[in-house]
């Protein structure tokens, strides 16, 4: 399953059925799980762990040292879960000591061509990064997020579960779960209603999310402990998740154009 023109280190550990095409380069301290494929001209450096049934396309670069001047060649790592598709020329870097030492990617993600995931990022599962979406260091992307093409995310930002960004969005603050964002710099424009419907979320839950969005994102002056918001949190776990994300945000959240103006 390893092409004779591939370069695979004797110190790499590959499952028996891993396929490695010609001119791929796999260095020491790389582990790859069963059913995975590494295409021609992909380069994987260790320490790096790749799970099962992953597809690594041509010219992908995985596990290179972080682009961080504080990095001093420490043995940090990149950990990638199962069933991930990483398309042409994407780059995913190892972590730094001050960021916990690990860049981590979950399961069932689609990372399209030319995307970049920097050091110490934490990516959930069932995430889609369209072409050229790029994350600076220490970014946290929760489950079910979709980033449109050329989306940029500032370092240390968080993007909540099932959020969605349009093409060219630039995020310099945290994006609340279930929220749509667009623009440079990004502004929130509503709840990701269509996406939630496709995921089987009930209409009453979506209506509850739309209500707290209007109160806490679109407007200012409202508080999470107001009776109406507390009642919605008690009724719907998704609303509670939305409000908790806002309460825990350290960078502040992306708001609508009106809220930003106010």
Query: Residues 210, 229: contact at Cβ < 8 Å?
Result: no
pTM here?
0.93
CA distance 192 to 74: 41
Set 120, 124, 148, 160: catalytic member: 120
75-103: pLDDT as tens digits: 999 999 999 999 999 999 999 999 999 99
Tell whether the model's pLDDT for residue 262 goes beyond 50.
no
The mean of the pLDDT values for the chain is 95
Tell whether the model's pLDDT for residue 261 goes beyond 60.
no
pLDDT in the model for residue 153: 98
What band does 60 get if pLDDT is binned at 50, 70 and 90?
Answer: very high
Tell whether the model's pLDDT for residue 234 goes beyond 80.
yes
Angle at the Cα of 242 from the Cα atoms of 238 and 248, rounded to 5 degrees:
135
pLDDT in the model for residue 219: 83
Set 41, 119, 140, 162: catalytic member: 119
Displacement of CA 196 from its chain's centroid (Å): 18
41 CB-near residues (< 8 Å, 6+ apart): 23, 24, 58, 59
Set 137, 144, 148, 149: catalytic member: 137
222 among known catalytic residues: no
pLDDT in the model for residue 221: 77
pLDDT in the model for residue 51: 98
Mean pLDDT of 27-56: 97
95 among known catalytic residues: no
221 among known catalytic residues: no
Q: CA-based Rg of the chain, rounded to a whole angstrom?
A: 20
CA neighbor of 34 nearest in space, from 22, 19, 23: 19
pLDDT in the model for residue 220: 76
Tell whether the model's pLDDT for residue 187 goes beyond 80.
yes
């Amino acid at each position: 399953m390893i092409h004779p023109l591939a370069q695979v280190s004797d110190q790499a550990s590959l499952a028996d059925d891993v396929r490695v095409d010609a001119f791929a380069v796999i260095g020491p301290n790389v582990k790859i799980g069963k059913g995975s494929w590494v295409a021609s001209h992909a380069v994987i450096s260790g320490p790096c762990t790749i799970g099962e049934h992953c597809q690594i396309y041509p010219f992908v670069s995985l596990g290179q040292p972080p682009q961080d001047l504080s990095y001093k060649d420490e043995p940090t790592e990149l950990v990638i879960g199962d069933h991930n598709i990483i398309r042409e020329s994407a780059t995913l870097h190892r972590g730094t000591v001050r960021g916990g030492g690990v860049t981590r990617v979950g399961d069932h993600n689609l990372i399209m061509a030319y995307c970049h995931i920097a050091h110490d990022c934490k990516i959930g599962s069932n995430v889609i990064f369209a072409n050229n979406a790029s994350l600076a260091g220490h970014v946290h992307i929760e489950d079910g997020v979709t980033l449109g093409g050329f989306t940029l995310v500032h370092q240390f930002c968080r993007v909540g579960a099932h959020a969605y960004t349009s093409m060219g969005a630039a995020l310099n603050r945290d994006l609340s779960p279930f929220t749509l964002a667009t623009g440079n710099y990004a502004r929130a424009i509503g709840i990701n209603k269509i996406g939630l419907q496709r995921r089987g979320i009930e209409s009453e839950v979506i209506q509850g999310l739309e209500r707290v969005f209007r109160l806490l994102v679109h407007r200012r002056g409202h508080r999470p402990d107001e009776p109406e918001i507390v009642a919605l949190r008690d009724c719907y776990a998704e609303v509670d998740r939305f409000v908790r994300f806002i309460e825990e945000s350290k960078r502040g959240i992306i708001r609508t154009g009106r809220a930003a103006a106010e």
